[in-house]
Structure 1
Amino acid sequence: MSRYRRPFGSPPDGEGRPWQRGGLFATVWILFLLQPLGAAWQRRDSLGGWVGLVAVLAFAAVYLRFFYAVRSGRWTARTPDSRLAATTVTLEIALGVVMCLSVGQTGTAAAVYTCVTAIMAFEGRLGIVLAGTIAVTTFAATVLVPGWSVDAGLLVAMLAASMAIWGITRMLRANAELQLATNDNQRLALSEHRNRFARDLHDVVGHSLTVIALKAELARRLVDTDRDRAIAELDDLERLSREALDDVRRAVEGYREISLTGELARARLALQAAGIETDLPEPAHLGTVPDDLAELFAWTLREGVTNVVRHSDARRCTVTVRSTSLRVADDGRGVLDVGGAGASPTSGSGLAGLSDRAAAVGAMLSTRALSPGFCLEVSRP
């Protein structure tokens, strides 16, 4: 079902009172049919009078049914169903003719309502042409039908009502389209926020849990052979756990920030805990990295080192940082098995999120197999 379509007969969500006011307005306006209704009542002693009464009441019912239908169907955002529109206009024209035949010229009051219905029912030129045709035909009848008087006021009323409804419907439809566009933008913003949060949470929790698991495993192996070293590893484990908890809290609060210097220190600890030889740049050599790339490089370093520790079985990891690029290389298996057997080097939500971060600052993420090993690199031309 299109977002422009609602089932007919039920008020729009959250708009009960305006919808009720619109229905009340239409009901009050229908009182202008009292004149042909009175004329029919005066002729109730004849068959024509009763036919006129039924025609007037039926016309009022058709008009109100149409108004309530399009009102509940958000006619401000779209035109009504074409079948409903054609049926309603046809019925109103037919009933208007019966009214004129039964009660005379007073039955032409129905033409104003029919013009309004045509404008509401058909969008664009079709509604205007149809309303204009009804107005001209009705005015011509007041000129040509014997015994009828020329009624220029009726012509003005038909044209004025048509123009007023045309302007109102255009304005309301434009406002409704604007509201729909605003709702779409809000949904896209919410989706982007969720994606960013999921990406940050993956990056934070994935790396932290990897290091914590390695530290715990190392402490367990050392507890019987080197108690002092095991206690030191447990101290690191406690510190890393608290840092991970703080990271998660900051991610939840939307203030997640990391530094390249801090990630170098984390990378050194993680690689050493995994027994992987490291070749990392000194923090003093990072001053040439632009500010808008520093955070991207920090995330890249975190993701790259996490994958090396988890998946590579490498003996050595080398990190190279330049002003516009960062490279994480290892001498391991050469393929990141992040999604099970046969996974490609670019699979996994971590690298997908990293690619999004790179694109946001005009950089590009690339991965390639080495001989032996694997390389993850982010760079900006």
Structure 2
Amino acid sequence: MTATGGPPRFGWVFAAVWLFYLGGNVGALLNQPNVYWRVTGLISVAVFAAGFLFLVARRRRRTVRVWLGITLLLALVALQVPGAGDHALTCLVYVAALAMVNLPIGQSAPLAAILFAGAEILPRTVDGWADRGYGLAVLLGSLATYGIRMAAERQRRLIAAQLELADRAVADERARIAADLHDILGHSLTVVTVKAELAQRLLDVDIERARKELADLETLARDALADVRTTALGVRGISLPGEIAAAREALAAANVEADLPGAADEVPTRNRELFAWTIREAVTNVVRHSRARHVRVQLTPDCVEIVDDGAGGVFVTGQGLSGLRRRAEGAGGRLVAGACADGPGFRVRVEVPR
């Protein structure tokens, strides 16, 4: 059987090797003095061998057709009996093996038991017949082919599971890239929007400052485009110092007073990426939604907290914070986001166990 449930493409070649055991049938038939039973038996052996290989080679089998094929093979066995005698019982091994591979176990096991009983009883009850171990051969052949069938089915299930895992990995990677693109574009476009509004207001007040803001807009747009390209390729990285610097620039453009850490040296490497994403998402929400006038970012080796004094209690279920929650849980940490308990404002806090 193949991994998809059918027989091997060249399984009939392997099955044909075992047909040499029919040599005993052929020898007995050649020694049969009755010409009629000799010819009938030899033709039956040849058709039996061809029918057996045909059934083995069939790549799509229906239970009804398998039963029809087995019935015909048993009829050919019966036609050999007058000329070959007990040697015809050799064919029962092939029938049992074929049944164990192709029929449901609830049907093949009883049939194999019946064939085993026949191979054991007939030599003891028919005059002139000898017990040549056909019953044991039927039993061993049935067990061996059933073992092959189970191994093939396990292989098929393994391949199916591997394909499912591969599909799931692709879906997870797509979700990760989508989340990264959301975070990147949400932050970048928010800053671009704020700087564009600021540049527009400065055109009639301070043309040089407006030019500087427009130059920053170009730089931000180029950086966002580069981030999108590298994220789509799966090679994008994010740095904690870089996000602190970007937060300072974004908050300044939005005219929000910022209390930011001067360095991130005390944060261990394993937490830096998560904390960088936390600062990016929280600052994006501050600039976009909060109408805050002041933001404080605190860093410790196992915690980052961003607190603003704007309109709290909003966007807890937003896509950005949902993605941030998944990142925190993936790192074994915990995200707490919500309105400040001691006054107006919004708090985002990510803690990672030491």
**Shorter chain as normaliser: what TM range?**
0.7 to 0.9
Name the counterpart of 2:333.
363
Q: Which runs of structure 2 are paired with 1:63-74 in the superposition (5 Å)?
A: 63-64=52-53, 66-69=55-58, 72=59
Q: Which runs of structure 2 are paired with 1:173-252 in the superposition (5 Å)?
A: 173-252=153-232
Q: Which runs of structure 2 are paired with 1:224-373 in the superposition (5 Å)?
A: 224-275=204-255, 277-284=256-263, 286-337=264-315, 345-348=316-319, 350-370=320-340, 371-373=343-345
Kindly indicate whether the alpha-carbon contact (under 8 Å) linking 2:44 and 2:76 is maintained by their aligned counterparts in 1.
Answer: no
Distance 1:312 1:95, change over 3 A: farther
Amino acid at match of 1:232: K
Amino acid at match of 2:298: T
Q: How many angstroms does 1:203 deviate by? A: 1.7
CA distance in 1, matches of 2:228, 2:150: 49
Q: How many angstroms does 1:279 deviate by? A: 2.9
Kindly indicate whether the alpha-carbon contact (under 8 Å) linking 1:280 and 1:319 is maintained by their aligned counterparts in 2.
Answer: yes
Q: How many angstroms does 1:233 deviate by? A: 0.5
CA distance in 1, matches of 2:314, 2:57: 62
Kindly indicate whether the alpha-carbon contact (under 8 Å) linking 1:100 and 1:108 is maintained by their aligned counterparts in 2.
Answer: no
CA distance in 1, matches of 2:314, 2:41: 84
Instruction: State the Cα deviation string for residues 328-381 of structure 1 (Å, max 9, x = none).
Output: 2233332435xxxxxxx2231x22221221112211112212353322221124
Instruction: State the Cα deviation string for residues 162-207 of structure 1 (Å, max 9, x = none).
Output: 3442343343333333333333333333333222222222222221
Kindly indicate whether the alpha-carbon contact (under 8 Å) linking 2:10 and 2:57 is maintained by their aligned counterparts in 1.
Answer: no
CA distance in 1, matches of 2:275, 2:325: 12
Identity of aligned residues (%): 35
Moved more, 243-252 or 98-107: 98-107
Amino acid at match of 1:366: V
Q: How many angstroms does 1:143 deviate by? A: 2.8
Q: How many angstroms does 1:129 deviate by? A: 6.5
CA distance in 2, matches of 1:310, 1:229: 22
Name the counterpart of 1:135.
116
Instruction: State the Cα deviation string for residues 293-349 of structure 1 (Å, max 9, x = none).
Output: 121111001011112222223333332323322222233332435xxxxxxx2231x
Kindly indicate whether the alpha-carbon contact (under 8 Å) linking 1:85 and 1:121 is maintained by their aligned counterparts in 2.
Answer: no
Kindly indicate whether the alpha-carbon contact (under 8 Å) linking 1:312 and 1:335 is maintained by their aligned counterparts in 2.
Answer: no
Amino acid at match of 1:334: G
Amino acid at match of 1:359: E
Moved more, 99-108 or 164-173: 99-108
CA distance in 2, matches of 1:301, 1:361: 16
State the TM-score, normalizing by the size of structure 1: 0.74
Kindly indicate whether the alpha-carbon contact (under 8 Å) linking 2:312 and 2:339 is maintained by their aligned counterparts in 1.
Answer: yes
Amino acid at match of 1:353: G
Instruction: State the Cα deviation string for residues 93-117 of structure 1 (Å, max 9, x = none).
Output: 7536653677663543431221102
CA distance in 2, matches of 1:119, 1:294: 59
**Which consecutive unaligned segments of at least 5 residues does structure 1 have?**
12-18, 74-79, 338-344
CA RMSD of aligned residues (A): 4.0
Name the counterpart of 2:10.
21
Name the counterpart of 1:341.
none
Q: How many angstroms does 1:155 deviate by? A: 4.1
